[in-house]
Amino acid sequence: MVHDHQPTPNQSIQALFGEALRETSDLARKEFALFRTEMSENVRSLVIALVLLMAAMVFAVVTLLLLTEALVDWVSAMVDSEALGALIVAAVTAAVAIGLGLYARSKLSTSTLAPTRTVRSVQRDAEVVTERVQS
């Protein structure tokens, strides 16, 4: 007696469920890898922003020292060109410090640290899963 081995409804449901679990696991692994990569890039940007912020602080200290020296020179000499030169240098260093500080602040905003590509990818995956379930 020859029996055709046809999968029973239970076996096909189990097979589908197993395949869905494998695909879900694979998808989760890929999403986690994307998340790790994106967060690594974001942390790298954060480190660069912090270095720039430290550079801005150094320029700010130099500016304060130069302004103080220029003020002392100006007050003691009143018309000395050396003091005027120190004021010009202090103005330039202040502009550099402000520029670096504003650039660092823009890099430190929380919106630049969010894993946006991962969020979009998870949303697309959820849409695909929803479509498959509905069909």
Question: What are the tens digits of pLDDT across the range 12-22?
Answer: 888 888 888 88
State which amino acid sits at residue 79. Answer: V
> 113 and 42 in contact (C-beta within 8 Å)?
yes
Q: Which residues contact 3 (CB under 8 A, 6 or more apart)?
A: none
- What's the rounded mean pLDDT across residues 68-84? 68
Does the residue 134 lie in any domain? no
For residue 52, give the H/E element and its range.
helix 9-77
- Domain span at residue 106? 9-118
What is the reported pTM? 0.41
**DSSP one-letter code for 78:** S
Query: Total structural domains in the chain?
Result: 1
Does the residue 25 lie in any domain? yes
pLDDT class for 98, splitting at 50, 70, 90? Answer: very high
Does the residue 128 lie in any domain? no
Q: Is the pLDDT of residue 132 over 90?
A: no
Q: Is the pLDDT of residue 27 over 90?
A: no
